[in-house]
Structure 1
Amino acid sequence: MASESFLRRCSSSTETITKTKLSSLFTNSCKVTTSIPQGSVHNLEEVARLDKFLQRDCKQGLCLENRGAEATRLFKKMVVFGVRPDVTTYGTLITGLCRTGNTSIALRIHEEMDNGITPNVVICTSLIYGWCFVGNLVEAKGLFIEMVDQGLQPNLLTYNTMLSGFCKEGKMKEANWFLELMIQRGFQPDAFIYNTLMDGYRLQLRFDDARELLFSMESKGCKADVVSYNTLINAYGKNRKLENAMSLYKEMISKGIRPTVYAYNGLLTSLFLSNKVGAAQKLFDEMKLNNVAPNSFTFIILINGLCKNGCVLEAAKWFRTLENYQFNICIEIFNSLIDGLCKNGMIEIAWEIFHNLHHKSLMPDVVTYNIFIHGFCKEGKLEKAYDLLSNMEKMVLRQM
């Protein structure tokens, strides 16, 4: 069958897994002996801590960052105290570790699995995710092939994890092989999987392929959603393909799909890149009429776009309205306006804004300093530029 042929081709091209032999995950004979007396209050407290860690912290994905060592220690104590972990316990911990980038710790835990416990699809999928998370697709592919050889059937999440990993690395041929294999194995791709592939094409600037995929998914009975259109609109918008972006915008509205701020941001970017300032401002007004709230990125695009098209005073006008919106103002918005002012001979106004940053609880960053250093050098004010350079170096040292 084509699927077996595909797996053989993958296997022949996969490098030997060096850090972890998967066979040891399925035939592990590691044994842990109980050396601490049972029933003490101390033991019960430790077990309670581990139970809280597994049931709340790991499942919520909140507390594993920078706590891999603690996770390993608590898990080992669980075994030492005679509380035998089952496949669910292992799955919960390994999933939590992999999803926070602690793949190496997850693999060590996996290697120490009780010899009576066989890894399930959840555990293998989590490890595949962990390898993809750190960009090691060779290990991820090897684990996928091995789990199939061991009789474990990948589920929809497994396939999507593999697809996503290859798409992020720009390996679209391999991603499409997994899509083909998935369909052959009886799985129907959903919008999430198609969107993952579309985003992969976007990252490779293969817009026609992404657009073709949109047609393909709908011809196969899978309806495109707002994410599908957002992905394509942003791809076209950021690459000066205004006509394509606007066509998709009208298409999604005609299908009853309500554009989000993400879609509007892509369209605004495209309009400003095409020097269509009036159309961009009109779209911004349309966005508000449709009850889509702008976010900080919208204002970065708006102010930066106006400044780069010579409409600095208009940008300053919009800047003054920021307090009317419910989002945290970021330093990037200030930088966009300051840069526009400096490049249009209004460095003194920019300098005044700079000195008012502390009223907004904002700190200038390296970009802010670079804008002014360049601006003052351009105006021949080298002493002021040097002072700013010195201040910037002190700021960087404080942050180290």
Structure 2
Amino acid sequence: MDRAAFENLDDPKRVIKKLQFSHKEMEEKIQKLAKLLNGADINLPEWIFSKTMRSARIKFCDYSITRVIIILGKLGNWRRVIQVIEWLQKRERFKSHKLRHIYTAALDALGKSRRPVEALNIFHAMQQHMSSYPDLVAYHSIAVTLGQAGHMKELFDVIDIMRSPPKKKFKTGVLENWDPRLEPDIVVYHAVLNACVRRKQWEGAFWVLQQLKEKGQQPSATTYGLVMEVMFSCGKYNLVHEFFRKLQKSFIPNSLTYRVLVNTLWKEGKTDEAILAVQEMEIRGIVGSASLYYDLARCLCAAGRSHEALKQIDKICKVANKPLVVTYTGLMQASLDSGNIQDGAYIFEKMKEICTPNLVTCNIMLKAYLEHGMFQEAKALFEQMSENANHLRRNSDYKMLVVPDTYTFNTMLDACVAEKRWDYFDDVYQRMLYRGYHFNPKRHLRMILEASKAGKERPLEITWKHLTDTDRIPSAPLIKERFCAKLEKDDYVAALTCITNNPPQDLQPFSKSSWLNLFKENSQRFQTDTIVRLMNEASNIVSNSSLPNPTLEYLMQSCKEFLFATDLSAADTDSLKNVFTVESQLVIANSR
């Protein structure tokens, strides 16, 4: 009895207690770990990721892993969810009793992030182990994800897996009668209907109704609503009305059902009937959703009844979650899509009284003005946005002031080119570069060339300086246009500098034939004596250089051929003798 094993344990000081965390402390550690993982670099090496997981100093069990995945899913970090699953799969010491729950949480997170392919990979991984084999909750999750993405074939594959025994044989042990086969329920069939909406396959809706009939299941109000959506997406408007009548016989239509009906009447051009349908819904005491009133308002805008549409704003505000600016922008866009620029402008002005238009709204209105030939109105809007940029003092100002972006500048530049307003084009282009937006050859090169040929050389010059300051090499068309612009002013030295300071790597755009075509196309811009002096200067550069310069040699040859096709004065003929001497020397040097 004196041995330690038989000592009295009533004394609390002799009892060794294991440190335990309360549920609150555990949750705080999990939250901290999830936020740490969410903020880390996505290309985190595996060993650093493992170190980060261990730094949480928590016991990784089914609950803690599931909670981390759920939090990451809410944060939208689906890549990190997959990384946690991969890390879990490599931990041989991890003993899970509810591995299926962890995978199902990952399926849900990937579904909310609209990642159907990754979710399908997780689903296939679940079928490899008995402890993680999908149950009804997992089937619901993957079916909804695939249905929302419109992956019809993959969804039917999941239904086949659901009805079939496992392809892999498991050691069931005491669970000899284990049978994971399940029959699709209403949730799975609704997922099929969602896929039919995306794929616009109205036959699939009738297949779902047939399956429910064979199983003795009555379609719900949601089922009929989804069937109506399928028919609407396929343009079967008569069937939308038919299923709406069937729905009314057994159920009370909900707000989403009325929304499909309103959109159908909108497409049929029956605006008054759409208003009556919503009034009938309100009489029945059904609370309309924000999307219903929003679609009704857009229907009215498309019909040119913007004043009535704005009256729906109060109803939208009572149930809406989205900012008002989004609602107004949608109404404005509906008016513009119907070709009603006046109503669109009216809504835009009314919007300013309630909320501040955002950049998307202003860009839509700017584009609409220009498409309808209202250049002065577009110019006024652009000037207002540019003026806002001068009042930016802190980051919070961006929430209140709308300033031009690259789309705004490009839209105005396109309009200036189309209207041949080169003075304003020059002004807008300078502002774009000043605001930090770069020259884009695919978008701006054509504009710069047209402006230069129209007599506006400044855009070309500031583009050249912009490229030089940013260590970018000008393209061949830009070099040639600046060459022609300098030559037009009889500044042949500066014209040659365009070539000598930017020696081309590709000689094809600067071949003899290319130079000759350039001279012929721009012959009205040059004086004959200017070409002669250009040849003389080019010959001097070539003769004083120890290295060959194919670009200048091709230039001299094309100039010679171009001049021989014109009438030269005696003075010009004498000045060319020096050039011919240089050419002879080049021929002898090349023959050696």
* TM-score, normalised via structure 1 length: 0.72
Contact 1:302 1:315 in 2 (8 A): yes
Asked if structure 2 preserves the Cα contact closer than 8 Å seen for 1:230 and 1:263, the reply is yes
Q: 2: CA distance between counterparts of 1:289 and 1:142?
A: 43
Point out where structure 2 has 5 or more consecutive residues left out of the alignment. 1-52, 166-180, 390-396, 442-592
Structure 1 residue aligned with 2:303, among 262, 265, 274? 274
* Shift in alpha-carbon separation, 1:121–1:260, aligned structure 2, 3 A: closer
Deviation at 1:141, TM superposition (A): 0.6
What is the CA–CA distance in structure 1 between the aligned matches of 2:326 and 2:369, rounded to whole Å?
A: 19
Distance 1:42 1:81 in 2: 13
**Aligned ranges 1:1-400 → 2 under 5 Å:** 45=57, 47-48=59-60, 51-55=63-67, 57-58=69-70, 61-63=73-75, 64-77=77-90, 79-100=92-113, 101=115, 102-113=118-129, 115=130, 118-150=133-165, 151-219=181-249, 221-237=250-266, 240-276=269-305, 280-285=306-311, 287-288=313-314, 292=318, 295-304=324-333, 305=335, 308-310=340-342, 314-315=346-347, 317-323=349-355, 329-342=357-370, 343-344=373-374, 345-356=376-387, 358=389, 359=397, 360-362=400-402, 364-365=404-405, 367-382=407-422, 384-385=424-425, 388=429, 394=438
Distance 2:131 2:308 in 1: 66
Give the SS at the match of 1:320.
helix
Q: Secondary structure at the match of 1:152?
A: coil
Distance 1:192 1:79 in 2: 45
Q: 2:425 & 2:268 partners in 1: Cα distance?
A: 35
Deviation at 1:248?
Answer: 1.8
Q: Which amino acid aligns with 1:172?
A: W
**Whole-Å separation in 1 of the counterparts to 2:109 and 2:292:** 32
In structure 2, the residue matched to 1:20 is none
Q: Match for residue 31 of structure 1? A: none
Alpha-carbon contact 2:72-2:78 (below 8 Å) kept = no
Could you report, residue by residue, the CA deviation over 1:175-215 in whole angstroms, capped at 9, with x for unpaired residues?
Answer: 32113212432433333332222222222222222222211
Structure 1 residue ranges, 4+ long, deviating more than 6 angstroms after superposition: none
1:318 deviation in Å?
A: 1.0
Mapped to 2, the partners of 1:286 and 1:135 lie a distance apart of 33
Counterpart Cα distance in 1 of 2:341 and 2:131: 68
Deviation at 1:144, TM superposition (A): 0.6
| Cα 1:147–1:229 shift into 2, 3 Å | same
Distance 2:387 2:104 in 1: 52
Contact kept, 8 Å, 2:255 with 2:287, in 1: the verdict is yes
CA contact (8 A) 1:167 1:175 kept: no
Please say if residues 99 and 129 of structure 1, whose CA atoms lie closer than 8 Å, have aligned partners that are also in contact: no
Shift of 1:333: 1.9
CA distance in 2, matches of 1:329, 1:50: 48
C-alpha distance after superposition, 1:227-252 (max 9, x if no partner): 11122213433664423322322322
* In structure 1, distance between residues paired with 2:406 and 2:215: 52
Paired residue type of 2:415: G
* Contact map agreement 1:225 1:257 (CA 8 A) in 2: yes
Percent identity, aligned pairs only, is 15
* 2-structure distance, mates of 1:336, 1:99: 30
State the SS of the aligned residue for 1:394.
coil
Q: 1:252 to 1:104 in 2, by over 3 A?
A: closer
Q: Distance in 2 between matches of 1:61 and 1:103?
A: 12
Kindly state the Cα deviation for residue 393 of structure 1 after the two structures are TM-superposed: 6.7
| Cα pair distance change 1:269/1:214, threshold 3 Å | same
Q: Give the residue type in structure 2 aligned to 1:308.
A: N
Does the 8 A contact of 1:135 with 1:169 survive in 2?
Answer: yes
TM-score by length of structure 2 reads 0.51
One-letter code aligned to 1:337: M
Q: 1:49: how far off?
A: 7.6
- For residues 122-148 of structure 1, the C-alpha deviation after alignment (integer angstroms, 9 at most, x for no partner) is 223333344445543222112213322
Q: What do you get for the CA RMSD once the two structures are aligned?
A: 3.7
Query: Could you say which residue in structure 1 is the equivalent of 2:556?
Result: none
Contact 2:69–2:105 under 8 Å retained in 1: no
- Counterpart residue type for residue 110 of structure 1: M
Residue identity opposite 1:348 in structure 2: K
Q: Flag the structure with larger Rg.
A: 2
Structure 1 residue 365: deviation in Å? 4.9
Letter in 2 for 1:281: H
CA contact (8 A) 1:121 1:155 kept: no
**1:321 to partner: Cα distance:** 0.7
One-letter identity of the residue aligned with 2:340: K
Report the AA paired with residue 265 of structure 2. Answer: Y
